[in-house]
Amino acid sequence: MNPTAAGPVHQEERESHVTMPPSEGEASSAQGIAMGSSASASGGHTDIRVKGRALSVRSARIEGRTVVVTGTWLRMAAVYDEEFVEGEPVPDPEAFLAALTRSRLSADIFTFAQKLPDVTPRYGYYREWDNPAVIPITTFSNWWDHQVESSVRRAVRKATKVGVVVEPAELNEAFVKGIVDIYGETPVRQGKAFWHYQKDAEAVRTENATYPERSAFLGAYHKDELVGFLKIIYVDKTASIVQILSKMKHFDKRPTNALIAKAVELCEQKGLSHLVYCSYVYNDPNSSLTEFKRRNGFEQLRLPRYYVPVTLKGRIALKLALHRGLARHIPTALLVKLLKMRSLWYSRRSPITKATA
């Protein structure tokens, strides 16, 4: 992405975890939300959120997984919330594809990816590469001393010095109210319309209550005020940040850096292998969000993502790279300019912006 308000406002738009290849602004922060689902081998529907909107999409239970199909002309199939599925999402691709073909989903292309730490391609299907932002977890002291920049250490120390306290939190009434206040601070974040602006408490509670048995919240407090929060979901031996957001007016207190530091500490305590924060690069490799991740110790890994045509249309679309979406066909230099223009337009609508911490 190309956020103009980075630092304390990183909130990748992870609303749809159908796990299609993300175009700018399509893959990241509130988590994928199954507002209600009914899927079987013969077909059903699952509710997902895409760009802040709830959509009911065709789905089916295949080999123990819920598979959803999105798209109109080109129908893309993927395991629902693939990155949060424990174990291999697709342990036997051939059997999975055979069952998908027999289903009534009418998919043109099926996509799936390998999971950390399995980075070596294992299948002969056409593949591209996901690029998750990852902190390999050894010890907190190793992250502190060797994986982050000195500016991050200063920021975390400053947060402590000015009275920011980061601690585990529960999704109770007070915490929900704090999130509502953060969501309602500004209608624009990261140079674009903020999808969660002015959501009420009921919506906030529902949308943040996914995977309750495998998730955890951290709250950053200044005095009695929630000035930032983070949600992670545990998947096997990894932890995935699905939302991290702080109040812009408390930017100078560096709560976002403090939240990430606490998350690394929590991962060490639980013996996890990696902390994942969405993708490392979207369309602009020089974005402030990518730079923020780099300074905080995140590294870019490459995970193979496979695209398997199921129909003749799918084979043709794959050869023409139509599965990538429009943004992927725009030259990078032009796309970056367009994104900057969008950010400038939105910044004029909402003057509350900050530089990267």
Q: Using a pLDDT cut of 70, give the percent of the chain over it.
A: 80
Packing angle, helices 150-161 and 255-269, rounded to 10: 100
Is the per-residue pLDDT at 180 higher than 50?
yes
12-21, 166-175, 231-240, range with the lowest pLDDT: 12-21
pLDDT confidence band for 328 (50 / 70 / 90): low
Q: Residue 356: which of 43, 33, 6 has the closest Cα?
A: 6
Radius of gyration of the CA atoms of the chain, in A: 20
Which token pair is 70?
């999105």
Query: Cis before residue 117, ω within 30 degrees of 0?
Result: yes
pTM assigned to the model: 0.83
pLDDT averaged over every residue in the chain: 84
Question: What is the pLDDT averaged over residues 29-34?
Answer: 34
DSSP string, 256-300: HHHHHHHHHHHHHHTT-SEEEEEES-SS-TT-HHHHHHHHTT-EE
Question: Helices H, strands E: what count in the chain?
Answer: 9, 17
Tens-place pLDDT, residues 89-101: 999 999 999 999 9
Q: List, as one string, the DSSP characters of 295-336.
A: HTT-EE--EEEEEEE-SHHHHHHHHTTGGG-GGGGS-HHHHH
- 3-state SS of the chain: helix, strand, coil percent to 5? 35, 30, 40
The tens digit of pLDDT for each residue in 147-156 reads 999 999 999 9
Strand ranges, E, within 212-273: 215-222, 225-235, 238-246
Estimate to the nearest angstrom the gap between the alpha carbon of 290 and the chain centroid.
Answer: 13
254 neighbors 158 (Cβ within 8 angstroms): yes
- pLDDT bin (cut points 50, 70, 90) of residue 327 is low
**59-63, 132-136, 332-336, range with greatest mean pLDDT:** 132-136
As a whole number, mean pLDDT of residues 235-243 equals: 96
Phi and psi of 118, rounded to 5°? -85, 85
Query: What is the token pair recorded at 342?
Result: 């969008």
Tens digit of each residue's pLDDT (9 = 90 or more) over 240-276? 999 999 999 999 999 999 999 999 999 999 999 999 9
Question: What pLDDT was estimated at residue 329?
Answer: 62
Nearest to 306 by CA among 295, 314, 298, 296: 314
| Residue 250 contacts residue 36 (beta carbons within 8 Å) | no
Q: Which tokens is 349 given?
A: 């609508």
Q: What is the mean pLDDT of residues 101-124?
A: 94
